[in-house]
């Protein structure tokens, strides 16, 4: 199997803050790989290292077979960054933005024009092709940004939160664009905090927490890792909610102090449910409502990166 990204034992500190503590990551060529992590988990740091923008302290990192530290130039020729690094010039139209990138990438005038037309069609930009980018909606701008990153298709495309702030329809359009782009053989590293986005787009997902990859697998594999269903206990008052948090000792419990809900992973066996309800009754923490749902990627994320029960209180 060929891998576009090969990272082993990668470490990086800022002063005394250890951000990456030994990250291992392998991304199969042609796949969309989701990198998930809470705010401050180190996603941007990892992306910046892979994109040769910053150095690292220990371990190794290779992109398209090149060492990111020793062969940075070769790596740069194989990658493209989008998202918060967007390079769209607001004074220029779609056509002008695309031609400018094409010319910068040393395509001839004829090649540039052909490539521009092709990308305008592929990324559904015809209706706005000759309007200045400054007037575009968020979704149109993202599609132009993606098109610009594909003028010369990179081996590895970094997509940073591609649909943040978009309405549902624009978001679906951008997702469709990313899927199409992935179908062309480009390897995509998607960093996102939106689990639904990772669920929709990623072939595999790595969860970064505490400076390490704490889980890796397809979205489905990760969901089954959170075995069984999730029991949601809903409380009518803070006292019951607090009592439940104190009583339930199951690992992976998550809670919402505003909605007064406590989510408890279970193995779905009737005995477990009975034991749980008995424990709650004994602790004077019987819920007002009990519901069950299949685990979502949100549950996976919250379970794997959950603060301790103490921290929730």
Which residues contribute to the site for ligand ATP (CB under 6 A)?
14, 17, 19, 37, 39-45, 193
Taking residue 54's Cβ as centre, other Cβ atoms within 10 Å add up to 14
Nearest distance, CB of residue 40 and ligand ATP, angstroms: 4
Helix (H, G, I), strand (E, B) or coil at 258: coil
Nearest distance, CB of residue 41 and ligand ATP, angstroms: 4
Nearer to ligand ATP, 11 or 193 (CB): 193
Helix (H, G, I), strand (E, B) or coil at 45: helix
Nearest distance, CB of residue 161 and ligand ATP, angstroms: 8
Nearer to ligand ATP, 19 or 285 (CB): 19
Nearer to ligand ATP, 98 or 208 (CB): 208
The label of the residue with tokens 């397809």 reads 218
Strands (DSSP E) found in the chain = 3-14, 17-28, 32-36, 58-63, 66-67, 79-82, 156-160, 187-192, 204-209, 212-217, 230-234, 254-256, 261-265, 289-293
Handedness of CA 305, 9, 186, 48 (dihedral sign): positive
Nearer to ligand ATP, 283 or 306 (CB): 306
Nearest distance, CB of residue 265 and ligand ATP, angstroms: 25
Nearest distance, CB of residue 160 and ligand ATP, angstroms: 9
Adjacent-strand bridge partners of 93:
132
Nearer to ligand ATP, 194 or 235 (CB): 194
């Amino acid at each position: 199997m060929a891998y576009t990204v090969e990272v082993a034992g990668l470490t990086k500190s800022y002063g005394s803050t250890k951000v990456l503590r030994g990250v291992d990551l392998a991304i199969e060529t042609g796949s969309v790989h989701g990198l998930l992590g809470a705010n401050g988990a180190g996603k941007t740091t990892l992306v910046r290292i892979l994109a040769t923008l910053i150095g690292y302290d220990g371990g190794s990192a290779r992109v398209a077979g090149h060492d990111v530290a020793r062969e940075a130039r070769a790596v740069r020729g194989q990658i493209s960054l989008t998202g918060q690094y967007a390079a769209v010039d607001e004074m220029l139209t779609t056509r002008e933005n695309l031609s400018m990138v094409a010319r910068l990438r040393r395509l001839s005038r004829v090649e540039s024009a052909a490539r521009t037309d092709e990308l305008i069609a592929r990324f559904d930009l015809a209706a706005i092709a000759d309007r200045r980018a400054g007037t575009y909606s968020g979704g149109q701008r993202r599609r132009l940004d993606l098109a610009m990153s594909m003028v010369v298709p990179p081996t590895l495309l970094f997509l940073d939160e591609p649909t943040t702030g978009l309405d549902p329809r624009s978001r679906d359009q951008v997702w469709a664009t990313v899927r199409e782009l992935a179908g062309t053989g480009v390897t995509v590293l998607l960093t996102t905090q939106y689990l639904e986005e990772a669920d929709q787009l990623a072939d595999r997902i790595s969860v970064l927490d505490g400076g390490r990859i704490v889980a890796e697998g397809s979205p489905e594999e990760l969901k089954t890792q959170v075995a069984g269903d999730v029991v949601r206990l809903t409380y009518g008052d803070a006292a019951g909610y607090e009592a439940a948090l104190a009583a339930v000792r199951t690992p992976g419990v998550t809670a919402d102090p505003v909605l007064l809900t406590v989510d408890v992973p279970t193995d779905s066996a009737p005995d477990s449910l009975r034991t749980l309800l008995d424990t709650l009754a004994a602790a004077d923490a019987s819920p007002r409502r009990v519901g069950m749902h299949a685990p979502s990627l949100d549950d996976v994320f919250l379970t794997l990166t959950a603060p301790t029960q103490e921290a929730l209180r």
